[in-house]
Amino acid sequence: MTSRRFFNAYTNWDSTHYMTTARAENLDAMLKIEAMRLFYGCQTISNDEFLREREVVRNEISPARRHGRGPDPAARDVVGLPAGHAYEG
């Protein structure tokens, strides 16, 4: 019997949504993995991995901006994000 798992995520303007699907008998292991993800947060992500994933998010957001969906990039000035903030595009 194989142990099949599915991991995926998608990003909107303010958050990333993670999805995990696994067989019922793997529930305990999956809950431990999710607990570790919440506990450690971004501490275990290398700078190279961060840079790669940031590009993925930018590529997901860019088409929405081109088609007029999502917040206006100038809106960051209204909410007071400093120059150089990660949302700066």
For tokens 């400093």, name the residue: 82
Residues 41-81: tens digit of each pLDDT: 888 889 999 899 888 877 777 766 666 665 555 554 555 66
Please tell me the distance from the alpha carbon of residue 58 to that of residue 89, in angstroms, as a whole number: 8
Rounded Cα distance, 19 and 11, in Å: 12
Among the listed residues 68, 84, 57, 42, the one whose alpha carbon sits nearest the alpha carbon of residue 76: 84
pLDDT tens for each residue of 26-42? 999 989 988 998 899 88
Out of 3-7, 70-74, 84-88, which region has the weakest mean confidence (pLDDT)? 70-74
What does the pLDDT read at residue 43? 87
CA distance 41 to 53: 15
d(CA 57, CA 16): 9
pLDDT band at 14 (very low <50, low <70, confident <90, very high): confident
